[in-house]
Each structure stands twice: as C-alpha cells, then as structure tokens.
Amino acid sequence: MKTPPVLGRREVVAGMAAAALGGLGSAQAEPPKTPEFWKSGLADVDEAVRAVRKGEARVLARSAGQRNIHLVSYGPRVERKGTANYGSACAGLAPAAYALKDGTQRPVVFLLGPVHGGEVEGIAGLLNLLRVAESGQDSRGHKWERLAENIAQCRLLIVPSGNPDGRARFPWECSVGQKLEDYERLEMGVTADGQSFHWPGVKRLHPMRGPTVGKPGTYFNDRGINLMHDEWFAPMADETVAFLNLAREEAPDFIVSLHSRASYATVLPTAYVPRTVKAAIEQLGARLQERYAAAGLPHRQGGPKPEEDGVTFPPPSFNLASALHHTCGAVAMVYEVCMGVDDKRYPQVDHAQILDLEMLLYDELLQFAVEQRVNWAAGKK
C-alpha cells in the first residue's frame, strides 16, 4: 500500500480554498506566502492568549459552533458605580447615574475583533497589539512607545476574534493578492444553484439558512447569524449577548468593531447616535487620515461628516455599533482596513502596510481616549 503524502500547511490551505470555492472562480493553486509577523488563525489566537502575562485572559463566551471567544484585558477595572442602566440614566438627565465619569477616570477602550470571519486582517492587527501591550513592540520588532504608554494609562479590552466560527471556515491567512470575486464567494457564500451572494443583497436573507442557501459564507456564525445585524431586542446569538453584556459591565468610552474591505482604510459613521458621538468619530477619523498621509499610506481626507439619519429611504441600519452605543454610551464605530485584493480599482497594499494602517489606528485611538476623557458629571461627552 502506498503511503499518502504528508501535506504542509500551505498545501492544506490551498486544498481548503479550492474546496471552499467549489472549483469555481480563479483561486490560486498556492496561497500567497505570509510574513512571520502575520498571524491570523484561531490557533494563532490561542497561542497569543496563552502568552499573555501583563494582562488577564479569559473566555468571554462560546460561539454557536462551541468555539472559544477570548477576551484579554489590560489595566485595572474601572468601577462605574451606577444606579441605573444607560437609557434610564439619560432619561433622568444624568448619564453619570449609569457610570460615574468625571474626566479623571482611566479611559476604557474596547476593541472587538472581526465579527465577519473572512475579515482576518483585524485578527492579525490585534495579535500584534497584544505583543505591544506585553513587550512594547509588534511582531516585526517595531517599537510603539507612545502606544505602550497609553495602554498603561487605559483599561483596554481586546476580543481578538469576534466570530471564530466564520474564521474556522475561511481558508486563507490573508486576502493580499487574491481575486476579489474569490474572496466574496468565500465571505458571502453561495446560493443553492451555486451562484455567489454579493453585498448588500447577502443581507436580505437573515439568518443565512434554508433551501435557497447552498453554502453560507464566513460572514456568519455556525447558525447563520451575521453578528453585525442581530435582532437587538431579542438577540439570536450568544456572541451578541456577550458583547453587549461586556459593554454594559465595563462602560467603555470608545468601542471599535474591526472590519476589512477592498477600499481605503477608514472609520465609518455610526447611525442613530447623538451628534456629539458623530462629531467625535469625525474628529478621530480626520486625525487618523492625517497619520496615514504622513506615513505615506493610502488615505483619504477627513473623517465621516455627521449627518442626520433617515433623510432618505431606505434608512441606514441600526447595527452592532449603534447597539453598543445605546448599551453603554460609548463612542462606538466600525473601522474598515483595506485588505490588498488583486483589483486595480482599490489600494494595492502588502501585509506590512496593512499592519501599519491598523497599528496607527490603535496608536491614534488610545491617544484620543487619553486626551478626550469623558466627563458626564459636567453634562459633557
């Protein structure tokens, strides 16, 4: 009997990609090589969590597929000393009744890793952030002195992977150099007759299951839930409950949900939040684009302009960022990093540039949090 060959990791990944694409598309026979500093798999998350020494690590929840959702925290917990939930406190004209924030407390920042499983860039960035928190430098050996100093001044909450189910089904370590249509097929899934789902139509069937679905994409957990668009008043996913409970208990000042896309890296506007929150997102977004320009990275001008919601039909979505704000009052936003797909319409970036984009986000966000300490006691946000 002939002994079957032992396959290396790259051969296994290539086989997974071919199987996931169902023989369609133009997937490369060999996945692109990733640098040593680029770690984005669930095993990489487990390894990074085990290596935590300066912070505290615990399992926040279990996914629909019974995979661990890890939480790593740095800095002492800030007791909110509340007497009401956030909505009731606002109705009482005193948000400080939910969390006593007087401008002197330690800032609390919550970074939620990708809730769309194929948007793996956020995992790679957060694992490098863990290295900075532990050692002062990322996995490339680049020092981030101001970032490390600000981590020490904050309460930092990191969920490296918000959707381990989807990540387990995504066969690539990254999307650099891959065809956009192949990425979308893996991320969005296919219909029963083998046609690819596309954005935004992929959101018109939720949960993603039933006779019209051939294969759900990695957008979703193992129950077909897109965690960006759960049923907020009756959550369908345990993951959603865990994220909202964490926000309610910790009362973060800033929350960022990490995503990836083909286009430019940017923070997105959050719908159905106060004008003050939208203004803070615009200010942070503008500062971030200035950092990108100074670093010679792909960039745009300014942050997202505050706009009134629902001026036109259909109205914008009340999504996970909106729900997180209304749970705890945080400046909650979505951040999209460009992922370097092989499509000349979009920025062509490599792994190091993607990591630079993400690390500059963390650097600017924590500096912003330290500078802009929330003061609800004085009626200010």
Tokens of 254: 């800033």
Segment 361-366 shows an average pLDDT of: 98
Please give the residue that has the higher pLDDT: either 129 or 27. Answer: 129
Q: Are strands 213-216 and 189-191 parallel, antiparallel or unpaired?
A: antiparallel
The burial class, CB within 10 Å (0-12 / 13-18 / 19+), for 19 is exposed
Cβ atoms within 10 Å, residue 224: 21
pLDDT tens per residue, range 38-92: 999 999 999 999 999 999 999 999 999 999 999 999 999 999 999 999 999 999 9
Beta bridge partners of 191: 213
Res. 11: pLDDT tops 70: no
Q: Report how far residue 187's alpha carbon sits from residue 160's, in angstroms, rounded to the nearest whole number.
A: 19
Res. 17: pLDDT tops 60: no
Q: What is the pLDDT of residue 33?
A: 81
- DSSP classification of residue 38: -
Q: Report how far residue 13's alpha carbon sits from residue 293's, in angstroms, rounded to the nearest whole number.
A: 35
Q: What is the pLDDT of residue 335?
A: 98
Give DSSP secondary structure letters for 255-278: EEEEEEESS--EEEP-SSS-HHHH
Q: Report how far residue 293's alpha carbon sits from residue 333's, in angstroms, rounded to the nearest whole number.
A: 21
Is 381 inside any structural domain?
Answer: no
Share of the chain above pLDDT 90, in %: 90
Is 84 inside any structural domain?
Answer: yes
Segment 299-303 shows an average pLDDT of: 96
Is 38 inside any structural domain?
Answer: yes
pLDDT tens per residue, range 191-226: 999 999 999 999 999 999 999 999 999 999 999 999
Q: Report how far residue 226's alpha carbon sits from residue 196's, in angstroms, rounded to the nearest whole number.
A: 17
Q: Report how far residue 49's alpha carbon sits from residue 164's, in angstroms, rounded to the nearest whole number.
A: 14
Q: What is the pLDDT of residue 32?
A: 66
- Which residues contact residue 150 at a Cβ distance below 8 angstroms, ignoring those fewer than 6 apart? 363, 366, 367, 369, 370
Q: What is the pLDDT of residue 96?
A: 95
pLDDT tens per residue, range 97-120: 999 999 999 999 999 999 999 999
Q: What is the pLDDT of residue 14?
A: 45
- Where in the chain does DSSP place strands (E)? 56-62, 68-74, 108-112, 155-159, 189-191, 213-216, 254-261, 266-268, 331-338
Res. 31: pLDDT tops 80: no
| 310 and 317 Cβ atoms separated by less than 8 Å | no
The candidate with the shortest Cα–Cα distance to 179, out of 338, 38, 344, is: 344
> Into how many domains does the chain fold?
1
The interaxial angle of helices 121-135 and 351-371, nearest 10 deg, is 60
Segment 229-239 shows an average pLDDT of: 97
Q: Report how far residue 327's alpha carbon sits from residue 191's, in angstroms, rounded to the nearest whole number.
A: 35
Q: Report how far residue 320's alpha carbon sits from residue 340's, in angstroms, rounded to the nearest whole number.
A: 25
Upstream peptide bond of 314 is cis (omega within 30 degrees of 0): yes
Q: How confident is the model at residue 258 (pLDDT cuts 50, 70, 90)?
A: very high
**Choice among 8-12, 68-72, 335-339 with the minimum mean pLDDT:** 8-12
Segment 259-280 shows an average pLDDT of: 98
| 324 and 273 Cβ atoms separated by less than 8 Å | no
Is 18 inside any structural domain?
Answer: no
Residue 225 identity (one-letter amino acid): I
Q: How confident is the model at residue 378 (pLDDT cuts 50, 70, 90)?
A: low
Is 9 inside any structural domain?
Answer: no
The candidate with the shortest Cα–Cα distance to 218, out of 168, 171, 183, 166, is: 166
Mean pLDDT score of the chain, rounded to an integer?
92
Please give the residue that has the higher pLDDT: either 15 or 236. Answer: 236
Is 184 inside any structural domain?
Answer: yes
Q: How confident is the model at residue 30 (pLDDT cuts 50, 70, 90)?
A: low
Res. 18: pLDDT tops 60: no
The candidate with the shortest Cα–Cα distance to 40, out of 258, 242, 256, is: 258
CATH number assigned to the domain comprising residue 163: 3.40.630.10
pLDDT tens per residue, range 116-153: 999 999 999 999 999 999 999 999 999 999 999 999 99
Q: How confident is the model at residue 377 (pLDDT cuts 50, 70, 90)?
A: confident
Is 53 inside any structural domain?
Answer: yes
Tokens of 187: 């991320």
Res. 379: pLDDT tops 60: no
Q: What is the pLDDT of residue 219?
A: 96
Range of the domain at 224: 24-371
Is 239 inside any structural domain?
Answer: yes
